[in-house]
Amino acid sequence: MAPLIAAHDWSASTTGPLADWPSHLRFATAIVLQSPIPMALLWGAEGILIYNEHYAVIAGRYHPAILGRPVREAWPEAAAFNQDVLQTCLAGRSLTFARQEMTIYRDGAAEQVFFDLSYAPVLDPDGTPAGALATVIETTDAVVLEQSLIAETQTLETLNQTGAALAAELDIEPLVQMVTDAGVKLTGAEFGAYFHNLLDETGQRLDIFTLSGAPRAKFEALGRPRETAIFKPTFRNEGVVRSDDILVDDRYGRNLPYAGMPPGHLAVRSYLAASVVSRTGEVLGGLLFGHSEPGRFTERHERLLSSVAAQAAIAIDNARLFSAVQDVNNTLERRVSERTDELTRAHDALRQAQKMETLGQLTGGIAHDFNNLLTVIRGSAKLLMRPGLTENRRERYTDAIAQTADRAAKLTSQLLAFARRSSLTPQVFDVGDTIRRLHDMMEMLAGAMIEVDLHLSADACYANADVTQFETAIVNMAVNARCDETAGTADHYRSTL
């Protein structure tokens, strides 16, 4: 750079000819030229630009035309920024900028760049600021890498969160909504949708299931889409479809009546779609994403969408399997419940039949005893009809009738209670008290030839069972004893509880 500075005609600038430069300007220029990093000197009120070879690399095609020119003219895209910097330094203050973002045209096209900038005033022998010494370090590559790492980290976090959420979700609708939302976030699409691979009776139209980034009414008003040349590859699992500009895509506009998007459709230029395929090979549906600007999707977005579609397929398969298992379980539970009800009714009918059988045995067994009660009542009644009975005899006959009638009524009541149909109702009761209440009935059932002798503990003995069933078992013992005695085999019955 030293030969270029020496050969440059400085006489037309505010610095004047090189030979007339003051010592502090020469000294500042020497510092700039010897620096191993990009540096520049902005001299005077116009900020005449003097720089080293490292700064020349940053200047690109602007070099060497900007050498010796006012900084505002050298960098017109940053004129306001450089003017503020120059005025601040000429006022005696320093400035520092980290990751300063700028848009420059050093290579003919707009370019977004980043710089670490440091500015310090250069003083003349009187201590008055005469210019600004600038250190210019381009950090564009570092910033882009940093942004890429941040974006990649966010992408991995989104994929991880989506995978975890999908693994925990077994309801298809929220599951697919999560997938659609994740696809919009990962690809930078303006909107996205998931379509079930379900066609109507004509085999033409697909069914939208979830939507992200746009109101559902925007799509519902258009009706269901058709399996066009654009949609068909996705729902036939023919690979990811990506178009930088759908309007100029060869597959676009082939179907009537619109030959393209119908009126009112969201603006779509960039288009990206992937199939969601079950582990069995069935195409479950398609993830479709759009953007109103062309060239928004890249190969990286294809890979990300393929990953999300694969996660979605596994999650949907799991949800469908869970739903099928639930249906089987519900059917099994219903069948078990129905069978249990049938068995309960059968058991109830069996218990009632057994009870009626026992009741028949009881009825036959006590018919003779009940007839004896009636004989006592009839005999006592006839005796009461005799004339000349003393009061004492009249009372005896009357008491006999009353007592016999009470015994008959009690027997009838017990028989009715025993015959009453009821379901099993377990409850806690005293075994001894229950057997004592049955004593009279057991004596009647056993007959005159059999003695009912109870040996019950003085201590309470509690059981948790159905009282009616227990009483039936005790009564059956008396009936069995009478039957054995009738057959001439009864000797002695003992039951220990």
Under the banding of pLDDT at 50, 70 and 90, the label for residue 129 is very high
- Please give the angle made by the CA atoms of 455, 461 and 467, to the nearest 5 degrees: 95
- In-domain check, residue 30: yes
Do 308 and 170 share a structural domain? yes
- In-domain check, residue 173: yes
Do 246 and 175 share a structural domain? yes
Do 204 and 275 share a structural domain? yes
**Residues 6 or more apart from 347 whose CB is under 8 A from it?**
none
Number of domains the chain contains: 3
Do 162 and 126 share a structural domain? no
Residue type for position 247:
L
Do 175 and 68 share a structural domain? no
pLDDT at 23 over 80: yes
pLDDT at 16 over 80: yes
Kindly give the pairing relationship between strand 207-212 and strand 191-196: antiparallel
Do 387 and 296 share a structural domain? no
Who wins on pLDDT, 420 or 114?
A: 114
Do 159 and 133 share a structural domain? no
pLDDT at 33 over 70: yes
For 385-422, b where at least 16 C-beta lie within 10 A, e where not — what string?
eeeeeeeeeeeebeebbeebeebbeebeebbeebeeee
- In-domain check, residue 493: no
- In-domain check, residue 497: no
Confidence (pLDDT) at 120: 94
CA atoms within 13 A on the CB side of 61: 6
CA distance linking residue 28 with residue 49, whole number of Å: 12
Instruction: Evaluate whether 139 touches 99 at the Cβ level (below 8 Å).
Output: yes
Do 301 and 182 share a structural domain? yes
Residue 273's φ and ψ, nearest 5 degrees, are -145, 150
Mean pLDDT of 233-243: 85
Confidence (pLDDT) at 253: 62
- What's the mean per-residue pLDDT of the chain? 80
Which of 33-37, 49-53, 370-374, 394-398 is least confident? 370-374
- In-domain check, residue 351: no
pLDDT at 323 over 80: no
Token pair listed for 262? 């119908």
pLDDT at 489 over 60: no
CATH number at residue 123: 3.30.450.20
Instruction: Evaluate whether 284 touches 162 at the Cβ level (below 8 Å).
Output: no
**With the C-alpha atoms ordered 16, 21, 25, 31, is the resulting torsion angle positive or negative?**
positive
- In-domain check, residue 337: no
Report which DSSP code applies to 261: S
Kindly give the pairing relationship between strand 111-123 and strand 48-51: unpaired
CA distance linking residue 445 with residue 291, whole number of Å: 96
Do 132 and 77 share a structural domain? yes
Which residues span the domain enclosing 164? 146-321
- What Å distances lie between residue 63 and 49, 109, 137, 162, 256, CA to CA? 11, 16, 17, 50, 57
Mean pLDDT of 171-187: 80
Who wins on pLDDT, 206 or 103?
A: 103
pLDDT at 53 over 60: yes
Give pLDDT tens digits for 243-291.
888 887 777 666 655 555 666 677 788 999 888 888 888 888 888 898 9
pLDDT at 70 over 90: yes
- In-domain check, residue 340: no
CA distance linking residue 488 with residue 283, whole number of Å: 85
Do 158 and 133 share a structural domain? no
- In-domain check, residue 285: yes
- The alpha carbons of the chain give a radius of gyration, in whole angstroms, of 53
pLDDT at 445 over 70: no
Who wins on pLDDT, 258 or 178?
A: 178
Token pair listed for 216? 């559902």
Instruction: Evaluate whether 133 touches 28 at the Cβ level (below 8 Å).
Output: yes
CATH number at residue 207: 3.30.450.40
Which of 156-165, 168-177, 414-423 is least confident? 414-423
- Please give the angle made by the CA atoms of 430, 436 and 440, to the nearest 5 degrees: 150
Do 214 and 65 share a structural domain? no
